[in-house]
Amino acid sequence: MTRKNRENAGLHDIRLHGRGGQGTVSAAALMALAAFEDGFEAQAFPKFGSERRGAPVEAYVRISRSPIRTHNQVYTPDAVVIQDAGLLRSEPLLRGLKKGGLIVLNGARPTHHEEDGYRWICLPASEIGQRHLGRPLPNTVLLGALAAATQWVNLTALETAVANHLSKKGEEVVKANIGALSEGYGCVVQAKESAS
């Protein structure tokens, strides 16, 4: 399928990178659930190396307006979400990323810029996660940023996905994650408004 046909079909491929324990697989599941909530077809699945806390983890999400017939890893993503900037030194995280693609990075300083044909959004997601969740979990913060930057799913659908997915963990956990999600979304919206 050509890029133009993919865009017309509303097909978006996302690859998420993180370390075990950062919620990379949960983030992929939440994005797919939000896409379903928004009326799209979606799939999410992980790729594990050694299954231990701190080991590199990849997860994939596909979102489409039509049935998804591809069931393999995402090799040419439209967006890459990086939950641990330290992985940039040891892993080829940008491999296959399409020109004009989006990189959402958990970084110390917030920045929004274009470089080498890619759009970069960096925000202190671990710090925001610590403030909302009491732990430096970046996953919901980065999902909010991804949603704001792409509009592939809306914030309400993500909030509903978080509420449904985390309901068994209690109202406080749901509320904290929605707060983290909303702040990540708001960081990108605010940066877009400042740039225009």
For residue 132, the domain's CATH number is 3.40.920.10
Residue 110 inside a domain? The answer is yes
Determine the structural domain holding residue 72 and report its residue range. Answer: 3-188
Residue 111 inside a domain? The answer is yes
Q: How far apart are CA 47 and CA 59, in angstroms?
A: 6
Q: Residue 90: what pLDDT?
A: 80
Q: Which of 174, 161, 140 is nearest to 24 (CA)?
A: 140
Residue 118 inside a domain? The answer is yes
Residue 78 inside a domain? The answer is yes
Residue 93 inside a domain? The answer is yes
159 by Cβ neighbours in 10 Å (0-12 / 13-18 / 19+) ranks as buried
| Two structure tokens written together for 38 | 């928004």
Residue 194 inside a domain? The answer is no
Q: Residue 97: what pLDDT?
A: 96
Number of domains observed in the structure of the chain: 1
Q: How far apart are CA 129 and CA 173, in angstroms?
A: 12
Residue appearing with tokens 């701190």: 54
Residue 193 inside a domain? The answer is no
Residue 59 inside a domain? The answer is yes
Task: Write down the pTM of the prediction.
Answer: 0.91
User: Per-residue confidence of the chain (196 residues) as pLDDT tens digits?
Assistant: 444 444 445 799 999 999 988 999 999 999 999 999 999 999 999 986 656 777 889 999 999 999 998 888 999 999 999 999 999 888 789 999 999 999 999 998 778 888 889 999 999 999 999 999 999 999 999 999 999 999 999 999 999 999 999 999 999 999 999 999 999 999 999 887 777 6
